[in-house]
Structure 1
Amino acid sequence: MIGEDGMNLRMLRALAICVGAVAMIAGSARAQDAPVKIGAVLSLSGPAAVFGIPERDAIQAIVAKMNSTTKGGRNFEISFYDDKSNPTEATRAVNQAINDKVVAIVGPSTGSGILAAGPIAQRLSTPLIGPAGTLAITDPKNEFYPWIFRAAPSDASDVRAILQDMAKGNAKKVGIFYQEDAYGKTGVDLAREVGPSLGLNVVETASAPYTATDLTAQATKLRNAGAQAVFLQISIAALGSSFVKAARQVGLSVPIYANAGLAQRSFAENVGNEVEGLRIVSIGNLPYDPTPGEAELAKMLEAAGKQPQGWGELTGSNALMAALGAIDKQKGKDITGASMRETLESLCDFDKFARGRVCYSAKDHDGWHEDALVITEVRNKQFRSVP
């Protein structure tokens, strides 16, 4: 397995021989001797590009490694589409990708985009493998549930892990700052649900849109509520940085914890001393304390001239490797969106770079759980894993 035991290049070569050399162009046929098409609908512009660009970079780096080490076999093709960090654009891009005859889609990058595009995936029978933690995307109550798979632990796992760490301290009264989207609101609901069992009481919440820069009012609101610790349900690094700076300016000098969305190099390195000691739950620690598998992915990125950023590369690679695992499992068959969905529901222990054991089933489209997570702490503008 590719993971904590390190990148096994022989297994990667074997997988690539099965799925073949990669062409970064669009195609059309689905016959056994024709390329299998995968779409990648990612936030390549807009606020969520902090995830979409690293997701794209990881996919391209893996593809480049496969091309350099294998020849021949079953071909597959990757085509990229920009959802522009906008749910409406995500539906447009998913529809375009399916019109281009892809059999599965990595993305969209955000939970809001996945929720918006889910009905398209259902109607056109093409699975989405979403690199997002937003709990609602794999809610079995959704009519489009059969067509959505997750490539990261859900917010339920993330929020529980970071609140458990928070509960080890002396704080009992918690303030929450969240971004105004599905990811932000879901995190607040989960914290209210999980907190009491850990002895934590949410005393106040405050929110802001992605583009907000002056967060003095929000920080003051949490300070005045008597928050003894603050939880950030934020995925936009600039928004998180602005809040932490505002908190220190208004005298909100309490411990700060954050969900996985802020596990980005840009967040750790572009803020001052006010963020020192902030704790974040993350799927691995690719930039600073990587496992052997994560380190191998980092080498691929560096070979492609990219600096590893963290969360995005791991979720992007997870989604791609799930798609390739499903293709590999269908040796000798014509592959369609329907066959990919069916195969994903029985996919378990496929090759990957991130930590943790992954198994999908008809009743579990999350696949990834708390064993893929690590608590990190910002020290000297780096994320350091907490024992």
Structure 2
Amino acid sequence: MKKFFTIAFLLCASYLFAEIKIGALLALTGPASILGLPEKQTLEMMVEEINKNGGINGQKINLIVYDTQSIDDEARKKFIRLVQKDEVKVVLGPTTSGESLAIKDLASQFKTPVISMASSDRIVNPINKYLFKVAPSDDHAVQTIYAYLSSNKKMKVALLTVQNGYGDSGRASLLKEAKNFGIEIVADEKYLDSDKDMTSHLSKIAAKKPDAIICWGVGPAPAIIAKNFMQLKINAQLVMSHGVASAKFIELAKDAANGIILPAGRMIVAEQLPANDKYKAILLSYIKDYESRYKTPVSTFGGHAYDAIQIVQQSLKMGGDDLASNIEKIKGYVGTYGTFNFSETDHNGLSKDAFVMVKIENMKWKLLK
């Protein structure tokens, strides 16, 4: 009888303390740290809320976060640790495109679903059964930019792209989509994340007299470009990628941020959305929760983490062990960046309407109509 009660107690204890291990690979240091920090804070906030409400299918989430330092090799090492040592069911992140591409083969090798928070189309094209992403694609961002420029008759465009996975993917989309909008690429320059001055790049570009200059990058470097652009008094429209859609960019660029336009998620202009916009209530709720907790402005990158954990939650609630197939079945999830409709042939699930064009005026975001 005593043995029976001991076994019963152990079974009960194992049920009571059952947990779901979820890993996260985030750039908490390095050039992409301004993206990784709001992702981490959002995940911690969301997991705390889910656990407070009973967890998922009665199990609490154990979130295990590792810093990739914005380095591809670190992402690979930490992924292997999450899967082999920590035995997580799913991995959220990495933060950047290069890191996400660096673990693409590992996701297949270990049959572990990954929900990347980066934007490169190459993350999900070609399709990898275990790799998904929640950030809109580069193609969608480029189409949004070019549609705006062409409607404003700015057809001569210069490119200035960072030399990494994110920049390479963006540059490929910029070159590919140009002909579809009648855009003429008059200059094609590249820079390094570590560059501290871009005046030589911008001087070469200015000599080509473009109507617009598109800078594609994340981290501190685009802010340097904005400052150099202002110093040189270049007569062109400066356009940034969605990689700078955070208050941190404005803080770094200061007055040089004013006048810049870029494609971004609706979050940074949520209050300016029409009352009937289907995303407005979700965005305002998330913004209130995040800003009241962390006393800092939200960024669209935290929104990627919000969408990723919500998608994981939906897939886990479906039951079974094949989470990748469960994610492919998710349809109509209204998130911070758009409405997600996944399938076996679409591991991003978003469309071009995930983006709006915004402008920085008086150090604040303004929705462009």
Q: Determine if the TM-score, normalized by the shorter chain, exceeds 0.5.
A: yes
How far apart, CA to CA, are the structure 2 residues paired with 1:31 and 1:191? 52
How far apart, CA to CA, are the structure 2 residues paired with 1:42 and 1:355? 19
Equivalent position amino acid for 1:96 in 2: R
- Per the alignment, residue 385 of structure 1 pairs with 367
How far apart, CA to CA, are the structure 1 residues paired with 2:215 and 2:51? 41
- Per the alignment, residue 150 of structure 1 pairs with 133
Structure 1 residue 136: Cα displacement: 0.8
How far apart, CA to CA, are the structure 2 residues paired with 1:302 and 1:251? 36
Asked if the contact 1:192/1:201 (under 8 Å) is kept, the reply is no
Aligned residues: 347
Asked if the contact 1:122/1:147 (under 8 Å) is kept, the reply is yes
SS of 1:45's partner is coil
TM score, norm. by length of structure 2: 0.89
Equivalent position amino acid for 2:290 in 1: L
Identity percentage of aligned residues = 22
- Per the alignment, residue 6 of structure 1 pairs with none
In the TM superposition, 1:230-249 aligns within 5 A as 230-236=213-219, 238-249=220-231
Equivalent position amino acid for 1:39 in 2: G
Asked if the contact 2:287/2:298 (under 8 Å) is kept, the reply is no
Asked if the contact 1:220/1:247 (under 8 Å) is kept, the reply is no
* Bigger mean CA offset, 149-158 vs 168-177: 168-177
* RMSD across aligned positions (CA): 2.1
Give 5+ residue unaligned stretches, structure 2.
Answer: 1-13, 274-279
- 343, 354, 362: which is aligned to 1:372? 354
Structure 1 residue 354: Cα displacement: 0.8
- 274, 283, 298: which is aligned to 1:309? 298
Equivalent position amino acid for 1:258 in 2: M
2:89 paired with 1:106: no
Structure number with the higher helix fraction is 2
- 22, 38, 44: which is aligned to 1:38? 22
Structure 1 residue 192: Cα displacement: 1.4
- Per the alignment, residue 50 of structure 2 pairs with 66
How far apart, CA to CA, are the structure 2 residues paired with 1:353 and 1:60? 18
Sort the Cα spacing of 1:307 and 1:353 in 2 relative to 1 into closer, same or farther, 3 A: farther
Structure number with the bigger relative contact order (C-alpha 8 A, sep ≥ 6) is 1
How far apart, CA to CA, are the structure 2 residues paired with 1:189 and 1:317? 28
2:209 paired with 1:220: no
Structure 1 residue 188: Cα displacement: 1.4
2:268 paired with 1:252: no
SS of 1:175's partner is strand
How far apart, CA to CA, are the structure 2 residues paired with 1:296 and 1:265? 19
* Bigger mean CA offset, 259-268 vs 246-255: 246-255
- Per the alignment, residue 339 of structure 2 pairs with 357
SS of 1:286's partner is helix
Equivalent position amino acid for 1:281 in 2: P
Larger radius of gyration: 2
- 70, 76, 100: which is aligned to 1:85? 70
How far apart, CA to CA, are the structure 1 residues paired with 2:100 and 2:88? 17
* Bigger mean CA offset, 87-96 vs 263-272: 263-272
Asked if the contact 1:297/1:353 (under 8 Å) is kept, the reply is no
- 274, 277, 281: which is aligned to 1:292? 281
